[in-house]
């Protein structure tokens, strides 16, 4: 599909979601996206459409966030020019996007508490709080190379190195 056709399709999608033809989307509009409604991290993903307390997202903003979820098809088959920006769906951008889903207070590190909160969203009720805490501890410890008790972006990227994040947009770092 050409970039142009893809944009047209996205624009139609945008218009469909824009319930009263406001020209922008609100949280409520985005909550209509089925895939987000069933995703335990759906709310956090929706947050990423609204940086810095914005209440609306326009079409360019919508495309920018959705680009993170597009499959990487031609990575490595072509070299980027030095002035060309990194494509939004590159591996590094996907990792950054996933990282900020965990980093709830946006201080650049995933603390054990943040890990715990995300795990709570992802796993069902059949896991006890105690088990969750020990999973969160272990997950942070395994990724924490410099021993400061939290996971930096680099540590996060490293711990996900072997995962096929392009395929899954995988946001869990549990094995
Ligand atoms: Ca944090
Ligand atoms: Ca660390």
Q: Cα dist. 98→22, 29, 50, 83 in Å?
A: 30, 22, 16, 25
pLDDT computed for residue 113 by the predictor: 92
- Chain-centroid distance of CA 126 in Å reads 25
Q: Please, which pLDDT band fits residue 111 given cuts at 50, 70 and 90?
A: very high
Start-to-end C-alpha separation, the chain: 34
Report pLDDT digits (tens) over 10-49. 888 899 999 889 999 999 998 888 777 777 778 888 888 8
What region, left, alpha or beta, does residue 18 occupy, with left being phi > 0 and alpha being psi -120 to 50 degrees? beta
Rounded to the nearest angstrom, the distance between the alpha carbon of 98 and the centre of ligand 1 is 13
Q: pTM higher than 0.85 for the full model?
A: no
Which is more confidently placed, 160 or 69? 160
Which is more confidently placed, 64 or 57? 57
pLDDT computed for residue 136 by the predictor: 87
Q: Cα dist. 28→9, 25, 36, 41, 49 in Å?
A: 21, 8, 12, 16, 12
Tokens of 122: 């992802």
Q: Which residues surround ligand 2, an ion (CB under 5 A)?
A: 144, 146, 148
The partner residues of 109 in beta bridges, in order of sequence, read: 152
What is the pairing mode between strands 109-110 and 151-152? antiparallel
Rounded to the nearest angstrom, the distance between the alpha carbon of 36 and the centre of ligand 2 is 30
Q: Walk me through the domains of the chain, giving residue ranges and CATH numbers.
A: 1-69 (1.10.238.10), 84-168 (1.10.238.10)
Rounded to the nearest angstrom, the distance between the alpha carbon of 145 and the centre of ligand 2 is 6
Instruction: Give the residue carrying structure tokens 């590159």.
Output: 90
């Amino acid at each position: 599909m050409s970039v142009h056709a893809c944009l047209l399709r996205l624009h139609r999608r945008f218009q469909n979601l824009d319930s009263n033809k406001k020209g922008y989307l609100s949280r409520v509009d985005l909550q209509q996206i089925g895939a987000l409604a069933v995703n335990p991290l759906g709310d956090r993903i929706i947050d990423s459409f609204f940086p810095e307390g914005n209440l609306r997202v326009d079409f360019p903003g919508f495309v920018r966030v959705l680009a993170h979820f597009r499959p990487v098809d031609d990575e490595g088959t072509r070299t980027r020019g030095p002035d060309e920006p990194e494509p939004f769906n590159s591996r590094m951008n996907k990792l950054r996007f996933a990282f900020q889903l965990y980093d709830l207070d946006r201080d650049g590190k995933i603390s054990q508490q943040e890990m715990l909160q995300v795990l709570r969203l992802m796993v069902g009720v059949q896991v006890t709080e105690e088990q969750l805490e020990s999973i969160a501890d272990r997950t942070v410890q395994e990724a924490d190379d410099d021993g400061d008790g939290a996971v930096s972006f680099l540590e996060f990227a490293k711990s996900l190195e072997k995962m096929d994040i392009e395929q899954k947009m995988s946001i869990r770092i549990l094995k």
